[in-house]
Amino acid sequence: QEIIKQYADETKHPIDGDIWLDTENPLLMAVVFSNRLIGVNDEHTQFKLIPLKDHGKYYRIRK
């Protein structure tokens, strides 16, 4: 998470391409796509779309 935070700014209104970081588990992260999050399943064999999270923080990479 620290690498992402070095190159991104926190945002309150996520758009496609923003990154979600879980505040409780630093291993959980996802990318915003079509008002949902792209994550991976528990076996790490497939991508899946999940609803946007209320907890955690969203970050936008600076150009």
Please write the tens of the pLDDT for every residue from 14-63: 999 999 999 999 999 999 999 999 999 889 999 999 999 999 999 999 97
Containing H/E element for 59? strand 57-61
Three-state DSSP state, 3 = helix
Q: Supply the pTM of this predicted model.
A: 0.88
Q: What pLDDT is recorded for position 42?
A: 87
Question: Which residues, 6+ apart, have CB-to-CB distance to 17 below 8 Å?
Answer: 31, 32, 33, 60, 61
Residue 55's identity, in one-letter code, is H
Q: What pLDDT is recorded for position 45?
A: 96
The single-letter DSSP state of residue 27 is T
Q: What pLDDT is recorded for position 3?
A: 92
Closest CA to 56 of 38, 33, 35, 29: 29
Q: What pLDDT is recorded for position 46?
A: 96
